[in-house]
Each structure stands twice: as structure tokens, then as C-alpha cells.
Amino acid sequence: MQNLSLEKIEKILYKVNKPSRYIGNEPGSANKNWDSARVRVALAFPDLYEIGISNMGLRILYDRINNHADRNFLADRVYAPGADFKEQLINNKIPLYGVESFRPLRDFDVIAFSLQYELSYPTLLSMLELGGIPHKRGKRGQNFPLVIAGGPGAYNPLPMEDFVDAFIFGDGESAIIEILDNLDDLSGIEGIYMPGHYKSGKIKKRIDNINNRSYPVNFPVPFSSSVHDRAVIEIRRGCTRMCRFCQPCFVNFPVRERSRENIIRLVEEALENTGYEEYSLLSLSSNDYKGIESLVAQLNDRHAPGGASVSLPSQRADNFSLELAEMVQAVRKSTITLAVEAGSRRLRNVVNKNLTEEQVINAVTAVYKAGWRSVKLYFMIGLPTETFEDLDAIYELLKKIKAGAGNIKITCSVSIFVPKPFTPFQWCAQEKPDVIYEKTRYLKQKTKSLKGVKVNVHDVFLCQLEAVFSRGDGKLSALIEAAHKKGSYLDAWKEHFNKQLWIEAAESCGVDLEEYSTRAFGLDEELPWDMLDV
């Protein structure tokens, strides 16, 4: 076991941006005794601290492990260091460490990664190496930690199977405890895919009960800002809306709701423990929670007088409630967000987003008349069967909205369709980049004349890479490793992303990015993720 020099770490902290990312000891952190622990886990997030500290999944696992009846379990945390801190670690020969224990990653029994975003995969490799752990699974022996991973990326584990020992498939709350209890043999644990040991058959996903009190209400609160500076209470897991592009909808069945009594109690405790002045009621479709209006009204009665505000994810226009919107904005007024997805009724029907034009217009007009002066609309381009007429329909819809709510500012966030495993569109191709570029230019030019409308389109090449990895096979491990060796790191951030690096990495290992992203699977064809069963 290697003890790090805290004096050496302190010296480099003076040389980097946001040193509070790397020192732990935040209010609410567990700081468990290293020597008395039987099993030690580093919960690892392959992105910056500000993103990882807000991740709900890691909060839940951190709470489950540290508060388990077996007090011999220890969960620490590690995040991808900023480029400046990474450089200082390398130059000063300091291994990446858990922020609470200050122990190198190599000293832990388990490194548990959250796979939230495909372009974070090379960063995961960097974190292992910085922690003194070989990034290739085949080069790690008994003296190295078990490397496991869960999250959305686990629904197609093949691109990462050269680097991860075991994937958690489905809900991780109870699975992580079973893993810690059975480190020597994971083969009998439901929901675990082990690349080196899988032979045949279907692997059933884990399904946990969420209506319980075992939920994080006392968790690390950062000294600096994070992407979500609020307490978060998960009120519902799963969704019955069945939008055909939406992976979370299809992989999180069955729909499970937390009881009103539990939600009220958890909100109370979370606000008291953390000092936050905002709490979010988390769900894929919060206004589908039974009795959401009366729940929010009851929470407002308790907490609004003290200055604590509630927030919800975007509302659905076909179930839009102005009463609910006004209650949510009772303390602090923010932007209303509506997910429209497609401009034409025809295309919305194709993706099973069964909204009428009138429902969208009426929802925006209602909030405008109630005093809101800005709204955000989500659209998607490149959807299966989309034509330029569907893009024209986006323009026409925006024009009609402006006619009814003239001064309202509209921000259109336009994402690019990425086919995902376990959705009805998993067999569909992503459109060729040239076509997507043409469509984005067309839409921006078309909407240019609309005053007070801003259109933001996601990066086309980034979305192509997402499509490559979301439905890719085991051959992509070579691409991830090649990108890592060429310097790919923190690619979710514009200032770090290097398109040419990825092009060269793909050429070096013979991967045709367009072939992967635009491939349409046959309905009877074997899919890379067919060993998993949602």
C-alpha cells in the first residue's frame, strides 16, 4: 500500500485551477476509516468534478455502500482531473487518488465507473493509468482492483469490453452490494456481464424497488459550484410514453413511483442536511407522476416560505399544466422547457411523440400570458423518414408561436438523432454527415428571419461518434485505445475535443466511422448487445 505525500499534493494544488475539486472533506462526505474497511471502492466519474459531484447515480451508490449494515464497506470518490492537474500529477509522479482517502486508485479493491457518455471512454483509460492501473483488462492480474462499470453505456458493453472486468446491467443499488460481498466470484450475480467469462444465454437486467427510505439525503456538497447545485429526489423511474428514440424509456421498465410520504420526508431531510435552497423532483416525465400538482403544492406550503424552490425536468406539451408551472416558479422564475422533437405532426407520430401543433402553441401562449418571457424548445433532426418538409414545419411552428406570443424569446436546442440499443429505432441508420450538415444549414437559414428565435445545433461530428459507439462492436476497443494514446481526454468539453485526432485514430485502426454510424441492421440480424435482456 502506498501512502501519498500530502505535502507534495498541497504544493501542486496552488498551481491549478479550482483546487477544491481534489481535496474532499466537503460537508456531507463520509470520510470513512481506511484501515478498518474490509472492502474499499472508488466511485469513478470520467468527467470533471463539477459534473460528477451532481450525478444522481453515484450519489445513490455512495450512500448505499457507506451506510450499508456491513460498516466495513468504504466508498471514496474520484473524478477526471482537469488538464492542468493531470499534467501536475504526471510531472510530479503522483498517482490519481480518492479525494477522501488520498489513496492511489491502485490501492482500492474496486474501481466503479459511471458510463454516462460515449466520448468519455478514452478518459476512463487515462484515469486508470493515472491511478497506476493498466487500462487493458488482460494486463491486470490479481494484484490490481476489479474494474466495473454501469450506467447508460453498459447497455452496449462491447466497445469497452477490453478495459472493464464486469458491467452492471440495470439498476445498481443492490447489485453493487452483492459485488462487494462476492469479489472472488461474480458469476452468479444477476445483471452482471463479464466479458472474459460470458459463454451464452441472456443476461437479465437488475430491477430494484425505489420506494424506500434508503436514499441519499446527506451527500457531499461541493465548496465550489457544480452543474446542479440542488438536492435531487427521484420520484419516478421509467416512463410509459414510449418515444421511439428514447433509450431511458425502454431500458427502465417497469415504471416505479416513490410514495408521496417518502418524497415529502426525503425533501425535508435533504434540505436540512445540505443547506440547498433548491430541490428537484427527478423523473423522465415528472408531470406523469400521480397527483404531481397536489404534491408540489404540499411541498411549496412547507418550503417556499423559507425560500426553498422546487424544479422539474421539462414538461410535456400534451399534459402541460400552467398551474404546475406557476407553482414550480413560485420562488424563482426560470425558463419553461418543452420537448417538441419534430416540427410536423406526421414525424411526431413516427417517433410516437403524439403532440398536436395546437398543444404546443397553446402551452407556450399560456406561459407567455402568465408572465414568462422566455421558453426553450427541444427538437431533433435526422429522425427516420425525415424530409426537408419536416424542417419547414419547425419554421412554421415557430412562426405561429411568435404570432401568439410576440415578445417571447425562444431558444431552440436541436440535437441530432443517434440510434440507441433497445429502442425501436435501434435498427435504423444515422443519416450521413453531409446530409446532416445540409439540414442544419437549411434550418438555421430558414429560421434566421424570426425575431427573438435562437437555434443551437449540436456538433455533427460529435453526434456521429456517439452513433459509432452506441451501436458498435468489440472492434471499437482498438479505436478507443488509439484515441487515448493520441491524447483524447475530456472530449465532452469543446476546448479539449480534437476532431482530427479521432479521424487519425480511426484511420490507424481501420475503422470507417461513417460505415458504423450509417449502418442499418436487418430485423433478423444479430445485434452486438443481444446477450442482454431488458
DSSP state of 136: S
The angle subtended at Cα 163 by Cα 503 and Cα 150, nearest 5°, is 100
How does 287-297 read in b/e, with b if 16+ C-beta sit within 10 Å?
bbbeebeebbe
Among 367, 233, 238, which residue's Cα sits nearest to residue 299? 233
Q: What is the pLDDT averaged over residues 521-528?
A: 96
* pLDDT higher than threshold 70 for residue 3: no
* pLDDT higher than threshold 50 for residue 359: yes
**How is 246-264 classified by DSSP, letter by letter?**
-HHHHHSPSPEE--HHHHH
Please give the Cα distance from 106 to 104 (Å, whole number).
Answer: 5
- Give the pLDDT confidence score for residue 1 in this predicted structure: 40
- Give the pLDDT confidence score for residue 199 in this predicted structure: 87
- Could you tell me if 517 and 464 are in contact, meaning their C-beta atoms sit under 8 angstroms apart? yes
Among 219, 220, 223, which residue's Cα sits nearest to residue 19? 223
Q: What is the pLDDT averaged over residues 477-503?
A: 97
How does 441-454 read in b/e, with b if 16+ C-beta sit within 10 Å?
eebeebbeebeebe
Question: What is the CB neighbour count within 10 angstroms for residue 60?
Answer: 21
Alpha-carbon dihedral of residues 64, 65, 69, 73, nearest 10 degrees? Answer: 180
pLDDT > 90: percent of the chain: 84
Task: Give the global pTM.
Answer: 0.95
Please give the Cα distance from 6 to 264 (Å, whole number).
Answer: 42
In this structure, the chain runs to a length of 534
* pLDDT higher than threshold 70 for residue 187: yes
Give the pLDDT confidence of 513-522 residue by residue, as tens digits.
999 999 999 9
- Give the pLDDT confidence score for residue 37 in this predicted structure: 95
Q: What is the pLDDT averaged over residues 129-158?
A: 96
Give the pLDDT confidence of 77-122 residue by residue, as tens digits.
999 999 999 999 999 999 999 999 999 999 999 999 999 999 999 9
Give the C-alpha distances (Å, rounded to integers) separating 172 from 131, 361, 433.
Answer: 24, 40, 36
**How is 208-245 classified by DSSP, letter by letter?**
----SS-S-SS----SS--S--SEEEE-EE--SS--TT
Give the pLDDT confidence of 320-338 residue by residue, as tens digits.
888 888 888 776 666 788 9
Q: Which residues contact 99 (CB under 8 A, 6 or more apart)?
A: 21, 22, 23, 24, 76, 77, 78, 79
More confident residue, 59 or 332: 59
Q: Which residues contact 141 (CB under 8 A, 6 or more apart)?
A: none
The H or E element spanning position 62 is: helix 56-66
- Give the pLDDT confidence score for residue 285 in this predicted structure: 86
Q: Do β-strands 532-533 and 453-457 pair in parallel, antiparallel, or remain unpaired?
A: unpaired
**How is 377-412 classified by DSSP, letter by letter?**
EEEEES-TT--HHHHHHHHHHHHHHHHHSTT-EEEE
Residues pairing with 413 in the sheet: 378, 456
| For residue 254, cis peptide bond before it (omega within 30 degrees of 0) | yes
Cell of 405: 406570443
Among 522, 532, 468, which residue's Cα sits nearest to residue 250? 532
- Give the pLDDT confidence score for residue 174 in this predicted structure: 92
Give the C-alpha distances (Å, rounded to integers) separating 245 from 181, 288, 339, 385.
Answer: 37, 19, 13, 13
* pLDDT higher than threshold 70 for residue 50: yes
Please give the Cα distance from 459 to 119 (Å, whole number).
Answer: 13
- Give the pLDDT confidence score for residue 321 in this predicted structure: 82
Range in 146-160, 370-384, 497-511 the model is least confident about: 370-384
Tell me the average pLDDT of the chain.
94
- Give the pLDDT confidence score for residue 319 in this predicted structure: 76
* pLDDT higher than threshold 80 for residue 315: no
- Give the pLDDT confidence score for residue 370 in this predicted structure: 84
How far out from the chain centre does Cα 450 lie? Answer: 33
